[in-house]
Amino acid sequence: MIRIMSLLLTFFVFLMTAAMTLADDGKPPSRSPTSPVKTAKSNISASPESDSEPVKSSEAISDKNLEEKSKQMLEEVPPSFTIIRLSWKIVPYAVKYKVTFDDEEYITYINGIEIAVNNVAKIFKVDALDFDNNIIREDVTITETETNPSKVKTTTEFDKMDSAPLYPVYSWIPKHNADYYQIQLLKDGEVLRNYNAERKENDDVYDYYDQNPVNEGGNYYWRVKAMSRFGFALSEWSEESDSVSFKVKAPAKFAAFGDSITHGGGAITVPPSMTIYDWETYCEEPIKNLGRSGDTTDQLVDRFEYDVLPFAPKILFIMGGVNDFRGNILGWHTVSNLKILAEKCKENNITPIFLTPTPVNPQLIKKIKTIESPPYDWKEHYKYICDWIRNQEHFIDLSHEFEDSEGYLRYDLTTDGLHPDLEGKRIIGEAVNDWIKNNSSKISN
Percent of the chain exceeding pLDDT 70 equals 81
What does the alpha-carbon distance between residue 358 and residue 277 come to, in Å, rounded to a whole number? 15
267 and 195, same structural domain? Answer: no
pLDDT at 45 over 50: no
- Average of per-residue pLDDT values in the chain: 86
Residue span of the structural domain in which 186 resides: 21-248
pLDDT for position 242? 97
For the chain, how big is the Rg over CA atoms in Å? 24
Q: Tell me whether residue 414 is in a domain.
A: yes
11 located within any domain: no
Q: Both 270 and 214 in a single domain?
A: no
Say yes or no: 254 and 119 in one domain: no
Smallest CA-to-CA distance from 279 within 263, 293, 268 is with 263
User: Cβ–Cβ contacts within 10 Å for residue 12, how many?
Assistant: 12
5 part of a folded domain: no
Quote the strand ranges of 130-233, DSSP E: 135-137, 142-147, 169-171, 180-187, 190-198, 207-209, 218-227
Between CA 177 and CA 375 the distance in angstroms is 42
In terms of DSSP bridges, do strands 142-147 and 169-171 run parallel, antiparallel, or are they unpaired?
unpaired
- Residue 228 falls inside a structural domain: yes
The answer to whether position 109 is within a domain reads yes
| DSSP H/E element including 149 | none
Same-domain pairing of 263 and 178: no
Three-state secondary structure call for residue 21: coil
What average pLDDT does the segment 307-324 reach?
98
Least confident of 71-80, 247-256, 312-321, 431-440: 71-80
- Compute the distance between CA of residue 327 and CA of residue 259 in angstroms, rounded to an integer: 14
Let me know: does 209 contact 291? Beta carbons within 8 Å. Answer: no
Write the pLDDT tens digit of every residue in 246-300: 999 999 999 999 999 999 999 999 999 999 999 999 999 999 999 999 999 999 9
Lowest-pLDDT range of 54-63, 210-219, 255-264: 54-63
How does residue 127 score in pLDDT terms, banded at 50, 70 and 90?
very high
DSSP character at residue 52: T
- Provide the domain count of the chain: 2
pLDDT on residue 72 = 56
Position 40 pLDDT exceeds 80: no
Instruction: Check whether residue 238 and residue 254 sit in a common domain.
Output: no
- From the number of C-beta atoms within 10 Å of its C-beta (0-12, 13-18, 19+), residue 437 rates as exposed
Confidence of residue 68 (pLDDT cuts 50, 70, 90): low
Distance CA 105, CA 444 (A): 57
Is residue 326's pLDDT more than 60?
yes
Domain boundary residue, one of 196, 229, 248: 248
* pLDDT band, very low/low/confident/very high, at 26 (cuts 50, 70, 90): very low
pLDDT given for residue 121 in this prediction:
84
pLDDT tops 60 at residue 11: no
Say yes or no to pLDDT of 63 above 90: no
Provide the pLDDT for residue 207. Answer: 97
Residue 260 CA, distance from chain mean position: 11
Residue 3 within any structural domain of the chain: no
Per-residue pLDDT band at 32 (split at 50, 70, 90): very low
User: Is residue 190 situated within a structural domain?
Assistant: yes
> For residues 202 and 63, what is the distance between their CA atoms, to the nearest angstrom?
27
Domain boundary among 227, 248, 269: 248
Is there a single domain that holds both residue 229 and residue 352? no
